[in-house]
Every structure is written in C-alpha cells, then in structure tokens.
Amino acid sequence: MDTKITIAIADDELLFRQGLISILSKEQNLEILFDAENGNHLMEQLRTAETLPEIVITDLKMPGLNGVETTKLIRKEFPDIKIIALTSYFSKPFIINMISIGAVAYLAKNSTPKLMLTTINEVSEKGFYYDEQVMRFIHEGLINKDDKIKKSSFDTNYFTSREKEVLELICKQYTTNEIGEKLFISPRTVDGHRNNLLLKTESKNVAGLVVYAIQNKLVTIDEQF
C-alpha cells in the first residue's frame, strides 16, 4: 500500500494558497492535512494536530509570525517535519539564511506546478531538494565562510572512505536505492552510513549534511553544472 505524502501549507495570500491546494489535491500521492494564513495559525494547528504533516510549505513573507521565524520554531518543536520555503524573493542571502536555519528546499512563487511537484516528491524521498541555482548559491555562500577555522579544525580522517563516497552521492541528490546500486551495497547499509554521517557532523537532517560537506570542501559540485 502506497503511503501518501502529507502536507501543510502556510501563505497569507488566500488566492495563491487556494490555487496551490487545488493543484496539489489533484495528485493521488499527496494529501493536504491543513492550511494556514500565517505562521501563528500554522503553529497552532501543528501543536494540536493528531497527525503531523511530513512536509510544510511556508511562505516567507507573512504578517504576524513570518516564514523565517516559523521555520525556526518548527525545527525546534517538530524536527522531523521537512520545510519547503516559498517566496517571491529568490536571492542568495535569503536562500542561504533559510537553508542555514533548516529549510530543505526553496521555491520561487513563480515556479511551475511541475517543479513544485518535483520538489515535494524529491524532498519526501531524499530529505531535501536543491536545484542547480540553489546549489550554486549554497556553494558560493558557504565555501569561503570561516575558511581558516574550518581548515584548522577539520580532519579528513574523521570519515571512512565509504562514508565519503556516500556523502558525495547524497550531495549529488541520489536516492538511497541509487546509492546502494552505485556502491554495490544494500539500502540498509546506505542508511547506516548516512546515520553515521549525521552523528559525526551533528547535522539534524540530510540538508545539513550537504551544507556541512560544502563548507568543509568534502565534495565538488561544479561538475553537476
């Protein structure tokens, strides 16, 4: 039996929110649990929900509790929920900030419905989804950050060669099964390596692993572009 991807949506623009619900409701593998007009409304519903959504899609610019503060609260109170940031402001500083506080995907409001659906499905399957533009922004925004500190404190022997291979494939956005096939190991073994990486890097989610890998220059993503 296929499990549906459960979703909650927060956006103060009623017409946009209803349009988004209409698009997503047509997909058989998606289920909208509830929607909210701002961050406060969303948090109220999350705190009283019998079933939590797997994914929250939140606008960043909302009256009251905005999407940035809402994301911080969700990461603190409901760390298993994956957050897709939705905004009209598709700029490097905004993206870097949202990813640093826990968003696992970033969508411009003028994105196509197809890209929205792709992002939701990828986030559900892999834990995050960054398109080429977002990956560039992450790379440019993080690669030189605290460079001296990272170089002096980071030990490349901290990870096994297999963990490094798994990490590189995670950053290239391969699924668990695809990583297993490429490395000739079982999906369960891939999960084990990923869990070890999360522990060693103290990352809270797979998106955090990607940021860590780029910050510490463990992977080269240029070849993807």
Calculate the CA dihedral of residues 158, 186, 217, 148 and round it to 10 degrees: -30
- Within 10 angstroms of residue 216's Cβ, the number of other Cβ atoms is 17
Q: pLDDT category, 225, cuts 50, 70, 90?
A: very low
Query: Measured between alpha carbons, how far is residue 145 from residues 105, 133, 172, 225 in Å?
Result: 21, 19, 21, 22
Rounded to a whole number, what is the largest CA-CA distance in the chain? Answer: 53
34 pLDDT exceeds 70? yes
Last residue of a domain, one of 129, 159, 182: 129
Q: 207 by DSSP, 3-state: which?
A: helix
Q: What is the pLDDT of residue 222?
A: 55
Higher-confidence residue of 76 and 135: namely: 76
Q: What is the pLDDT of residue 136?
A: 81
Q: Are 60 and 87 in contact (CB under 8 A)?
A: yes
Lowest mean pLDDT among 29-38, 52-61, 90-99: 90-99
Whether 11 maps to a domain, the answer reads yes
Residues 175, 102 share a domain = no
Query: Measured between alpha carbons, how far is residue 54 from residues 20, 51, 73, 97, 173 in Å?
Result: 17, 9, 16, 22, 19
Mean pLDDT, the chain, rounded, equals 86
Euclidean distance between CA atoms 17 and 2, whole angstroms: 26
Q: Mind listing the pLDDT tens digit for each residue in 164-220?
A: 999 999 988 899 999 999 999 999 999 999 999 999 888 878 888 888 888 777 776
- Backbone φ and ψ for 139, nearest 5 degrees, come out as -60, -50
Domain with 18, as residue range(s), is: 5-129
Last residue of a domain, one of 129, 154, 172: 129
Share of the chain above pLDDT 70, in %: 89
- What is the tally of structural domains in the chain? 2
DSSP letter string over 47-80? HH-SS--SEEEEES--SSS-HHHHHHHHHHH-TT
Last residue of a domain, one of 103, 129, 155: 129
Residues 117, 164 share a domain = no
Residues 103, 174 share a domain = no
Q: What is the pLDDT of residue 144?
A: 54
Lowest mean pLDDT among 29-43, 59-73, 88-102, 166-180: 88-102
Q: Across residues 35-60, what is the average pLDDT?
A: 96
Q: pLDDT category, 152, cuts 50, 70, 90?
A: very low
Whether 209 maps to a domain, the answer reads yes
Q: What is the pLDDT of residue 138?
A: 77
Residues 177, 109 share a domain = no
Q: Residue 123 is encoded by which pair of tokens?
A: 């986030």
Question: CATH number of the domain that 110 lies in?
Answer: 3.40.50.2300
Can you state the angle between helices 206-215 and 132-142, rounded to 10 degrees? 50
Residues 87, 35 share a domain = yes
Q: 198 by DSSP, 3-state: which?
A: helix
Residues 119, 148 share a domain = no
Higher-confidence residue of 202 and 26: namely: 26
DSSP letter string over 93-156? HHHHHHHHHT-SEEEETT--HHHHHHHHHHHHHHS-B--HHHHHHHHHHHTTTTHHHHHHH--G
- Within 10 angstroms of residue 76's Cβ, the number of other Cβ atoms is 9
Q: Are 213 and 133 in contact (CB under 8 A)?
A: no
Question: CATH number of the domain that 208 lies in?
Answer: 1.10.10.10
Whether 106 maps to a domain, the answer reads yes
120 pLDDT exceeds 60? yes
Whether 138 maps to a domain, the answer reads no
Residues 123, 149 share a domain = no
Q: What is the pLDDT of residue 91?
A: 77
